[in-house]
Every structure is written in structure tokens, then in C-alpha cells.
């Protein structure tokens, strides 16, 4: 067996700490709880992206529910939220004394809000250091969330990813102060999402689960079962979400799945991968490709290249999730598991190959250079995904 021996020579569940203080307020109409969740002593900055929250009336509804609060607005947080845009908000927060940040949107708005919340508290000569100095963020303004797009899991975790446009760099940061105080999850808000965003969210959530699940076995039975439950739900509900925009249960199941996919629970006590995410971030930073689309092309190729290392879990995944006949030869079962994963992404409407995104070997050179430049040289659950392996993966995905 290709297993790392973790403790005293035996394969055991890793020790872990798990804590998640975010209060989830889930369901239709729950925005009615908003006003009570934020003290009236706070000066609240409402942060959002483009015009969609205006068009749907959600922004008006938020303001109506906060009519007894002192509020301001900051709009224009872009997909892959940029340092450059967010620093404008940091200035406003500092100058005008906002002391509660309310993110209304999806992962980009929430992640951007987390950066603003931290940068406003840390008195750094260069706030970008929050991303580069490997700091655990222990101080930040309090954050609330009204979620409109199930995908990133940022509504119930202490992480965020920010892009510096000037250098085409996309990096994550983490810390206990970044957990939202509360997140309101109303599945009805997802009815108005474009099909592409719902599909992207489903693929993103799916790969979040896989990055924590599809590594090597440590006999963590509950974490495996929970991960498999999330994957099964996405496979079951994903196509329904595209076929029927206003099915409450489908949207509710997807929303709760996306949150639980990356809130720390299924990753507790198990090895984690994340190599595909990091390679994907480079692709997005360089070429502006949607995050989920980068995952859909890279992930199956990663499984293909790493299938010997991952074979035990890949066989378990194939059997439990895709019902692959255990009497087939092992190589066949491994390739079927990978094929079905890629087919699921394609079924959600995403592209299968880098070449379909008009990226070729020049692009691969740039991506691999980006990984090396950002110190991303030993990725994956065992640190085996070097820039050379990343190149193999990207060539596999051409």
C-alpha cells in the first residue's frame, strides 16, 4: 500500500482541532433575522459586486431590514476580487469608521470582505503581506454574510483568496478572525443566478470535497462517509438545478452541500490535496478563466497523473459514488472513476480540456513559471506535485 505512516508506524486518523463559530441562518425568508444579528451600535458597510443584487431587489431588502442601523455601501467587488479594488474599501472603512462589514453576494464578495475586515485592523506598511507572510489572521472587523451563490464555502470558513491584478497573483489567506459571525443562506436567492454560475458552483463544491477526500486512506470512516454524502448529493441535484431554476429543495440541498463542502468538517483528521486549486488559481490569475472551469480541466488530469498514489481512495470513490463494478480489472476501475468525474463536469456544461479554452503549451509554460515564482513547488497531500508534475498534469489536460 502506498500509505504514509503518520504515527508510530500505523496508518491512523490524524490528530485535529475543529471549531467553527459561524451561525448559519438557513431558509426561505430568513433575511427577517438580519436586523437582530447586528447591534445597532455598529456602523455597517454593505459590500457587494455588480448590479445583480440591485436588479433582484435584494439590496433594497437588505437596506429595508437595516433601516434602524447606520449604513454605507461599497460596490464593485469583482469576480476574483482584486487587492486594488479592495484597498479602496479599506480606506473608506478607516476614514468613515465602519465597524461591521456585511457581504451580500457569493464567494468573491465574501472573500473580498474578509480582506477588507483584516486590512482595516492590521496596520501593515503593505497590506498585501496578509497574503504573503503566512500569517494566521487573528484580528478583523466583524463580518456578516448574505449568500447569493453556493460555491466557495467562504460563508462558513476562515479563508479567502485575493488577486493582485498588477502582478497577476492569486493567493489565499486564513485565520480564526475571518469566520463570519453569521451567514444567511436563503435558497430562493439562487433562483435568479445564470445557469453558468450554478454549474460553476456545483463543480467548485465537488472539487472542494475531492481535495479533502481523494488522497490516501487513514481509516477516517466518518469523514469519508460525509464527503461521499456531499458528492452524491451534488451528482443527484446538479442536473436538476440546471433543469429547474425554482426547485426549492434542489437549491436548498446544493446550498447546504456547498457550505459543508469547505467548512473544515470533512477535512478534519485527514490528509488534504489542494494541488488542483493552486494550479487553477495560477490559470485564473494569468488568463481570467473562471475558477470552476480551471478545476474542471485540471482535476481529471491530476487524478490521471497521480492515480498510483491515490489508487486506494480512487477505487473506494469509484465503487461508492459511481457504483463501478468491483469485478472489473483495477486499471479499468481507476480510469472509469476519472472518466465519470470528468463527464460529470462536462454534463454541468463545463469544458473538458485546456485546448477548448484556447490555452496551449505557451500557457503551460507561464502557469508552471507562476507556480515556481509563488513558491508552489511541493503541492498535494504528500508534497509530490512539483512544477514538473504540474507540467505533466497540464499537458495531460491539453
Q: Is 10 in the site for a second copy (CB under 8 A)?
A: yes
Residue 344 CA to its chain's centroid (Å): 18
CB of 297 to a second copy, least distance (A): 27
- Measured from the CB atom, is 156 or 354 closer to a second copy? 156
Distance CA 206, CA 333 (A): 20
| Count of beta carbons in the 10 Å neighbourhood of residue 10 | 10
- Measured from the CB atom, is 221 or 330 closer to a second copy? 221
201: closest CA among 311, 345, 304, 376?
A: 345
Angle at CA of residue 241, ends 182 and 196, nearest 5°: 85
DSSP state of 165: G
Binders in 203-222 for a second copy, by CB under 8 A = 219-222
- The interface region with a second copy, picked from 145-153, 226-234, 282-290, 327-335 by CB under 8 A, is 226-234
Beta-bridge partners for 104 = 146
Q: Which of 190, 212, 233, 342 binds a second copy (CB under 8 A)?
A: 233
Q: Which of 136, 167, 249, 361 binds a second copy (CB under 8 A)?
A: 249
CB of 269 to a second copy, least distance (A): 6
| Count of beta carbons in the 10 Å neighbourhood of residue 317 | 26
CB of 158 to a second copy, least distance (A): 13
- Measured from the CB atom, is 148 or 257 closer to a second copy? 257
Q: Supply φ then ψ for residue 379, to 5 degrees.
A: -95, 170
Distance CA 32, CA 49 (A): 22
Beta-bridge partners for 331 = none
Q: Is 76 in the site for a second copy (CB under 8 A)?
A: no
- Per-residue mark of binding to a second copy, 337-376 (x: CB under 8 A): ----------------------------------------
Distance CA 44, CA 282 (A): 34
Q: Is 21 in the site for a second copy (CB under 8 A)?
A: yes
Q: Which of 50, 72, 172, 229 binds a second copy (CB under 8 A)?
A: 229
Q: How many CA atoms lie within 13 A of 23 on its CB side?
A: 12
CB of 262 to a second copy, least distance (A): 14
Q: Which of 16, 246, 332, 384 binds a second copy (CB under 8 A)?
A: 16
Q: Which of 1, 5, 9, 29 binds a second copy (CB under 8 A)?
A: 29
Residues 368/385, Cβ–Cβ less than 8 Å: no
Q: Which of 2, 4, 18, 96 binds a second copy (CB under 8 A)?
A: 18
Q: Which of 248, 288, 326, 365 binds a second copy (CB under 8 A)?
A: 248
DSSP state of 172: E
CB of 142 to a second copy, least distance (A): 15
Residues 127, 132, 136, 142, CA torsion sign: positive
CB of 67 to a second copy, least distance (A): 23
Q: Is 23 in the site for a second copy (CB under 8 A)?
A: yes
CB of 22 to a second copy, least distance (A): 7
CB of 16 to a second copy, least distance (A): 5
Buried residues in 68-98 as b, exposed as e (16+ CB within 10 A): ebebeebbbbbbbbbbebbeebbebbeeeeb
H/E run at residue 72: strand 70-74
CA-based R_g, the chain, Å: 21
For binding to a second copy (CB under 8 A), which residues are involved?
7, 10-30, 219-222, 224-226, 228-230, 232-233, 236-237, 248-249, 252-253, 256-257, 260, 265, 268-269
Amino acid at each position: 500500500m502506498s500509505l504514509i505512516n503518520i504515527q508510530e508506524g500505523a496508518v491512523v486518523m490524524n490528530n485535529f482541532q475543529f471549531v467553527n463559530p459561524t451561525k448559519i441562518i438557513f431558509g426561505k425568508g430568513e433575511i427577517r433575522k438580519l436586523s437582530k444579528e447586528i447591534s445597532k451600535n455598529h456602523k455597517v458597510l454593505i459590500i457587494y459586486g455588480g448590479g445583480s443584487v440591485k436588479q433582484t431587489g435584494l439590496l433594497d431588502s437588505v437596506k429595508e431590514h437595516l433601516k434602524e442601523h447606520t449604513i454605507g455601501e461599497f460596490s464593485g467587488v469583482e469576480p476574483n476580487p482584486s487587492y486594488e479594488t479592495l484597498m479602496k474599501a479599506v480606506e473608506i472603512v478607516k476614514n468613515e469608521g465602519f465597524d461591521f462589514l456585511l457581504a451580500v453576494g457569493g464567494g468573491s464578495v465574501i472573500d473580498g470582505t474578509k480582506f477588507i475586515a483584516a486590512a482595516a485592523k492590521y496596520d501593515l506598511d503593505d497590506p498585501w503581506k496578509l497574503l504573503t507572510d503566512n500569517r494566521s489572521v487573528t484580528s478583523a472587523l466583524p463580518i456578516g454574510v448574505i449568500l447569493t451563490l453556493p460555491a466557495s464555502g467562504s460563508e462558513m470558513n476562515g479563508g479567502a483568496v485575493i488577486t493582485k491584478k498588477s502582478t497577476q497573483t492569486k493567493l489565499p489567506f486564513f485565520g480564526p478572525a475571518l469566520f463570519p459571525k453569521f451567514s444567511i443562506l436563503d435558497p430562493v436567492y439562487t433562483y435568479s443566478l445564470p445557469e453558468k454560475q450554478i454549474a460553476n458552483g456545483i463543480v467548485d463544491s465537488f472539487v472542494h470535497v475531492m481535495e479533502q477526500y481523494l488522497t490516501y486512506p487513514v481509516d477516517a470512516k466518518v469523514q469519508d462517509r460525509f464527503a461521499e454524502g456531499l458528492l452524491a448529493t451534488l451528482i443527484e441535484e446538479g442536473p436538476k438545478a440546471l433543469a429547474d431554476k425554482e426547485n426549492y429543495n434542489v437549491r436548498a440541498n446544493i446550498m447546504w452541500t456547498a457550505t459543508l463542502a469547505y467548512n473544515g468538517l470533512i477535512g478534519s483528521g485527514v490528509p488534504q490535496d489542494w494541488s488542483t486549486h493552486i494550479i487553477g488559481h495560477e490559470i485564473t490569475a494569468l488568463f481570467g478563466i473562471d475558477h470552476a472551469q480551471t478545476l474542471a480541466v485540471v482535476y481529471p488530469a491530476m487524478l490521471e497523473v497521480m492515480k498510483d498514489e491515490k489508487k486506494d481512495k480512487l477505487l473506494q470513490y469509484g465503487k461508492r459514488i459511481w457504483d463501478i463494478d468491483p469485478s472489473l480489472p483495477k486499471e479499468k476501475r481507476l480510469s472509469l472513476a476519472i472518466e465519470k468525474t470528468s463527464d460529470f463536469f462536462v454534463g454541468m456544461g463545463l469544458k473538458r480540456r485546456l485546448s477548448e479554452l484556447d490555452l496551449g503549451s505557451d500557457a503551460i509554460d507561464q502557469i508552471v513559471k507562476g507556480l515556481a515564482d509563488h513558491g508552489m513547488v511541493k503541492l498535494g497531500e504528500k508534497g509530490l506535485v512539483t512544477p514538473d508534475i504540474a507540467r505533466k498534469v497540464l499537458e495531460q489536460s491539453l
